[in-house]
Amino acid sequence: MREQRGEVGVLGASGQQGSAVVRALSGAGVPVRALMRRPMAAAALAELPGVRVAHADTDDPVSLHEAFSGVSALFVMTVFAARGPAGEVVQGRAVVDAAAAARVPHLVYSSVGGAERCSGVPHFESKWAVEEHLRASGVPAVVVRPVFFMENFLQSMAPVREGDDLVLRAPLRPHTPLQLISALDVGAVSAALLVRPDLAGAGAVEVAGDELSAEQIAEHLGRRYGLAGRFEPTPVEAVADEDFRAMFAWLARFPAYRADRPLTRRLHPGVHDFPAFLASQQRPSPFPNPHRGAGVSTIQSDPDVRSDREAIQRLINAYAHHADRRDPTRQAAVFSEDARVLLFESDPAQADPVQTVHGREALAATFAGLIAQYEATTYFNGQSDIDVAGGSASAETYCMAHHLLRQDGQRVLLTMAIRYLDTFERTAEGWRIAERRIVFDWTDRRPSQP
């Protein structure tokens, strides 16, 4: 990358793609304005060289105009999970209009592979509508169209362990090739195009790092985690969500995606194939107990299992205790050294995380940043559903979190209804959280009397 004049704005900087763009630009010495709805939760990004965190809310056009003013380029992505495809179109048009009003000189929009090909998939069509509005706006732009995300196979489509097997079940055809890319690589490609838009050629590029069948994907997953990987197809008709049902039906038509892989590699020479992506996931197997969510009771009476469940419950409570006692080091110590925490504003099965923090050290820094924003907190943990299976475990915990803070001189009470979706591993230190997905079910903000 060559030196870029002025800050590059990155909208949605706390999400998987956005944070990857921020890190790629920062690593190349490009100054970044990291834009997000909750800047107070971005302590780790704020510590990166050349990164300034600022507020931007896609539901607030005034905040967007202020956030975009003076940037030398702007990265934009839109999401459909919270308000559906129609809401995504509204969001995308508002962002484009704000970029036009702020006279943004160059914009990179992350869309989706196949958006232009009349797929009939609602959340593909919504991104195409945003693309069309962007072209009509006159804002100079490049469109990046990612194919199927590799991260899906460690998150919403993660396989389950059954004995010595790792079983991937998905509404995919066993032998039909599926193009894949990592969100990190989408970030790196987008960063390159923010600095050198001329590299895209025609103004839109579909990007991929690998192409594998579902059977090959399952084999690679098993090999990475030391198990026998196998694939079992499930019926597309069984997918409950109409949008995703349409997507998987479209994926069954080969070639669904048509990425330019040579151009992808020219834009980002370090693009991952699927085995390299899996190797970059440095923690032990993240896959939960296969019975979880399957309508099968896993409560056991074995004394060792009861002891493990009690230890895990204490660990869950320790996180809340250390948060309230304002001790970020001990709060981070309930996690494994290589743990991940992912924040979601809606169902994780249908949305990307708005923020991802990786590693105990980064978690401690993030917790310290949050503590500095609040005068006090009180966390009340409710029911925890804990499953234990040998050296791994999983749990879902409900929590009401109360935060006191000051905004414009006013004392404010922020209340959050939270669910913790946790995966645990047994370590030399005892049970630790290997991955935590934090889901904000709802929030309430109101003035508070002293």
Report whether pLDDT(230) > 90: yes
DSSP E strand stretches across 80-226: 107-110, 141-146, 148-149, 160-162, 165-170, 178-181, 204-207, 210-212
Asked if residue 229 lies in contact with residue 166, where contact means CB atoms within 8 angstroms, the answer is yes
Indicate the range of 19-23, 50-54, 241-245, 362-366 predicted with least confidence.
241-245
Rounded to whole angstroms, the Cα distance separating 401 from 379 reads: 4
- In this predicted structure, what is the pLDDT of residue 297? 32
Q: Is residue 293 part of a domain?
A: no
Tokens at 193, concatenated: 């195009």
- In this predicted structure, what is the pLDDT of residue 290? 43
- In this predicted structure, what is the pLDDT of residue 358? 87
pLDDT band at 142 (very low <50, low <70, confident <90, very high): very high
Rounded to whole angstroms, the Cα distance separating 323 from 330 reads: 9
Q: Convert the pLDDT of each residue in 274-326 to its tens digit.
A: 999 999 876 545 555 444 433 333 333 455 677 888 999 999 999 999 999 99
- In this predicted structure, what is the pLDDT of residue 445? 86
> Residue 412: which CATH number?
3.10.450.50
- In this predicted structure, what is the pLDDT of residue 88? 85
| 138 and 192 both lie in a single domain | yes
Backbone angles phi, psi at 393, to 5 degrees: -160, 165
Report whether pLDDT(144) > 50: yes
Q: Is residue 376 part of a domain?
A: yes
- What integer is the mean pLDDT of 154-164? 84
Asked if residue 369 lies in contact with residue 280, where contact means CB atoms within 8 angstroms, the answer is no
| 338 and 207 both lie in a single domain | no
Indicate the range of 58-67, 173-182, 259-268 predicted with least confidence.
58-67
Q: What residues form DSSP beta bridges with 162?
A: 165
Mean pLDDT of the chain: 87
- In this predicted structure, what is the pLDDT of residue 13? 86
- What integer is the mean pLDDT of 417-424? 93
Best CA proximity match to 183, nearest among 20, 40, 72: 20
Q: What DSSP assignment string belongs to 226-276?
A: TSEEEEEE--GGG--SHHHHHHHHHHTSSSS----HHHHHHH-TT---HHH
Q: Convert the pLDDT of each residue in 359-389 to its tens digit.
A: 898 899 889 988 888 999 999 999 998 888 7
What is the amino acid identity at position 149?
F
Q: Is residue 237 part of a domain?
A: yes
| 274 and 403 both lie in a single domain | no
Q: What DSSP assignment string belongs to 247-260?
A: HHHHHTSSSS----
Backbone angles phi, psi at 171, to 5 degrees: -80, 60
- In this predicted structure, what is the pLDDT of residue 42? 63
| 270 and 333 both lie in a single domain | no
- In this predicted structure, what is the pLDDT of residue 146? 95
Q: What residues form DSSP beta bridges with 425?
A: 392, 432
The packing angle between helices 84-101 and 122-137, to 10°, is 20
% of the chain surpassing 70 pLDDT: 91
Q: Is residue 142 part of a domain?
A: yes
| 109 and 240 both lie in a single domain | yes
- What integer is the mean pLDDT of 332-344? 91
* 205: Cβ contacts below 8 Å, ≥ 6 apart: 142, 143, 144, 145, 189, 193, 260, 263, 264, 267
- In this predicted structure, what is the pLDDT of residue 380? 95
Higher per-residue confidence, 120 vs 207: 207
* 152: Cβ contacts below 8 Å, ≥ 6 apart: none
| 138 and 246 both lie in a single domain | yes
Indicate the range of 33-42, 147-156, 289-298 predicted with least confidence.
289-298
Q: Is residue 298 part of a domain?
A: no
Q: Is residue 291 part of a domain?
A: no
| 393 and 275 both lie in a single domain | no
Parent domain of 430: 303-447
Q: Is residue 288 part of a domain?
A: no
Q: Is residue 72 part of a domain?
A: yes
Q: What DSSP assignment string belongs to 191-221?
A: HHHHH-GGGGSSSEEEE-SEEE-HHHHHHHH
- CA dihedral 171→174→179→185, nearest 10 degrees, is 80
Domain end, chosen from 232, 247, 280, is at 280
pTM, entire model: 0.70
Domain end, chosen from 247, 280, 313, is at 280
- In this predicted structure, what is the pLDDT of residue 40? 61
Residue 392 Cα distances to 161, 434, 438, 439, angstroms: 11, 9, 19, 21
Tokens at 137, concatenated: 């706006």
Report whether pLDDT(75) > 90: yes
| 100 and 145 both lie in a single domain | yes
Q: Convert the pLDDT of each residue in 86-107 to its tens digit.
A: 888 998 999 999 999 999 999 9
| 255 and 131 both lie in a single domain | yes
What is the amino acid identity at position 150?
M
| 42 and 136 both lie in a single domain | yes
Indicate the range of 132-146, 218-232, 404-418 predicted with least confidence.
404-418
Element (H, E) at 344: strand 335-344
| 145 and 209 both lie in a single domain | yes
- In this predicted structure, what is the pLDDT of residue 14? 78
| 56 and 178 both lie in a single domain | yes
Domain end, chosen from 230, 246, 280, is at 280
Going by the DSSP 8-state scheme, the letter that residue 152 receives in this structure is G
Asked if residue 185 lies in contact with residue 272, where contact means CB atoms within 8 angstroms, the answer is yes
> Residue 30: which CATH number?
3.40.50.720
Which of left, alpha, beta for 21 (phi over 0: left; psi -120 to 50: alpha)? alpha
Domain count, the chain: 2
- In this predicted structure, what is the pLDDT of residue 5? 65
